[in-house]
């Protein structure tokens, strides 16, 4: 499978990685969730080249994850804001951060805390079943082919025959 062909795969993960699956894009998204909106702020915080940053922002806009909103008319200047599609990535980013907090933090612990506004407590993300509400992990889930797999199910789900 070639990187440029990920969006053609009958796999939601591969299609998602085609949009957000590189380090710079994930860091841009992290900064979006931290309230960064302007090109020069991204550039300064990330230490990324203008060309790479422009490419990643364009891709996120093209895929409806971000929208450009003018904040100044003369000269025209725009900032980047998360769309509903972009906001839906929060759980993904939070899950990656949580994994990093658990497996990559040094002896001082997690670099940031995520506090639930509703109860005021430091929280960690949990995955639960949408039907019964029970917390689930990898061992609790069976993967089956869905309507979108088509004829190539063995390529993605080798145990299904």
Rg (CA), the chain: 19
Report which secondary-structure segment, H or E, holds 53.
helix 50-62
Residue 151 confidence class, pLDDT cut points 50, 70, 90: low
- For residue 36, the domain's CATH number is 1.10.10.10
Q: Is residue 133 part of a domain?
A: yes
Whole-prediction pTM: 0.85
pLDDT of residue 134: 96
Which residues does 122 contact at the CB level (< 8 Å), separation at least 6?
A: 113, 114, 115, 116
Q: Which of 57, 78, 82, 56 is nearest to 69 (CA)?
A: 78
Is the pLDDT at 161 greater than 60? The verdict is: no
3-state secondary structure at position 79: strand
pLDDT at 146: 80
Domain count, the chain: 2
Q: Let me know whether 17 and 55 are in one domain.
A: yes
Same domain, 24 and 45: yes
* Per-residue model confidence (pLDDT) at position 41: 97
Interval 58-87: pLDDT, tens: 999 999 999 999 999 999 999 999 999 999
Cα gap 80→94, rounded to integer Å: 20
β-bridge partners, 72: 77
Identify any residues that bridge with 81 across adjacent strands, giving them in sequence order.
Answer: 67
Q: What are phi and psi of 135, to 5 degrees?
A: -65, 140
Task: Domain of residue 121: give its range.
Answer: 89-140
Six-digit token pair at 31?
A: 């900064």
Do 111 and 77 share a structural domain? no
Residue 146 lies in a domain: no
6 and 77 co-located in one domain: yes
């Amino acid at each position: 499978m070639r990187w440029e062909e990920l969006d053609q795969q009958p796999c939601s993960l591969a299609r998602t990685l085609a949009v957000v699956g590189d380090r710079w894009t994930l860091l841009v998204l992290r900064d979006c969730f931290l309230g960064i909106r302007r090109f020069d702020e991204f550039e300064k915080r990330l230490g990324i080249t203008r060309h790479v940053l422009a490419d990643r922002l364009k891709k996120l806009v093209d895929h409806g994850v971000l929208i450009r909103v003018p904040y100044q008319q003369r000269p025209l200047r725009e900032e980047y804001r998360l769309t509903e599609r972009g906001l839906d990535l929060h759980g993904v980013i939070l899950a990656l951060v949580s994994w990093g907090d658990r497996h990559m933090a040094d002896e001082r612990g997690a670099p940031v805390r995520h506090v639930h506004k509703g109860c005021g407590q430091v929280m960690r993300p949990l995955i639960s079943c949408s039907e019964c509400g029970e917390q689930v992990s990898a061992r609790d889930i069976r993967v089956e082919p869905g309507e979108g797999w088509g004829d190539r199910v063995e390529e993605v789900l080798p145990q299904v025959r």
